[in-house]
Structure 1
């Protein structure tokens, strides 16, 4: 009986010293999205809301929800490549129609991966390239008129990284 009690106490001591599985808190910084703010091309200091804007990519399984009534959006960049091609569709819907206006932007960057914790895993930080960080593919009807890089280091989602003028 003494041996069983000693074994039970020993197991209790060992198990109480183990840590519970970590939980990744919502406040823990993870891989940030690029923050894009929209402005009026005719009046560059005035923020301008988008309406019926759909953002998609050949690599997305589905489009990001339509953005309307906002002048600031957050979109993901690829964590496994040094560029991301995004389609910005003005008047966008789930299928292309004649009033849709598609502009293609290519984001070029370098990546740094860092370990956050056992529960949260890794996060990727991005740094937009100094040469051609965001390139608009020209077409006969671009709705995006100008691109300005505000912050080339994408380490959080609290500040604007890119301004698009339309």
Structure 2
């Protein structure tokens, strides 16, 4: 009796795996919706990478954001449900002292294209920055960000830098 049960279970497992399609499992290395890759440079010497310290990045309507410290490159997500994303880049925003925060608001303007990956993985969203007004820096008279340069307007992967920020 035990032998029949074992053979039956083995047969069920074999049929289960045999019926499993390649698209039923989303592999861990599958490309997903890319984030914007931003590098920071010295405004006084634009060829020199410059680390940001105590940088906070948050959407204006969110209560929590991302903190970055002592890095020259960051990755930030864009909204997949709208053609505009506004983010606050807060100098000294990742420390506990809020009195020294300096907020610069950056708006990314883009078109979205949803690309089908597979049945298990679903879709990923690709972003294409607008030709005429890709990124807007709100000027408030106290900007720590001096200028922004778009290097790659097509945000399709995270393998390259899309934007340079000079401060």
Report the TM-score when normalising by structure 2.
0.86
Residue pair 2:54, 2:95 contacting (<8 A) in 1 also: no
Give, in angstroms, the shift of residue 59 of structure 1: 4.3
Match of 1:121 in 2: 122
Partners of 2:100 and 2:63 in 1: CA distance: 23
> Which residue is equivalent to 1:149?
150
Counterparts of 1:18-57 in structure 2, within 5 Å, are 18-19=19-20, 22-57=24-59
Instruction: Give the aligned CA root-mean-square deviation in angstroms.
Output: 2.0
- Cα pair distance change 1:122/1:42, threshold 3 Å: same
Deviation at 1:125, TM superposition (A): 0.3
CA distance in 1, matches of 2:17, 2:111: 44
Secondary structure of 2:99's partner?
coil
SS in 1 for 2:57: strand
**Which position in structure 2 is the counterpart of 1:68?**
69
The C-alpha deviation readout for 1:25-54, integer Å capped at 9, x for no partner, is: 221101000000000000000000000000
CA distance in 2 between partners of 1:119 and 1:154 (Å): 23
Evaluate the alpha carbon distance shift between residue 23 and residue 59 of structure 1 in structure 2; reply closer, same or farther with a 3 A threshold: farther
Q: CA deviation at 1:98?
A: 2.0
Tell whether the 8 Å contact from 2:87 to 2:107 is kept in structure 1 after alignment.
Answer: yes
**Which ranges of structure 1 fall in alignment gaps of 5 or more residues?**
1-7
- Deviating above 6 A after TM superposition, structure 1's stretches of 4 or more consecutive aligned residues are none
Q: Distance in 2 between matches of 1:145 and 1:115?
A: 38
Q: Pick which of 80-89 and 94-103 moved more.
A: 94-103
Q: CA separation in 2, counterparts of 1:102 and 1:112?
A: 30
TM-score of the aligned structures, taking structure 1 as reference length: 0.86
1:77 lines up with 2:78 in the alignment: yes
Classify the secondary structure of the residue corresponding to 1:98.
Answer: helix
Distance 1:48 1:75 in 2: 18
Q: How does 1:6-21 map to 2 (within 5 A)?
A: 15=16, 17-19=18-20
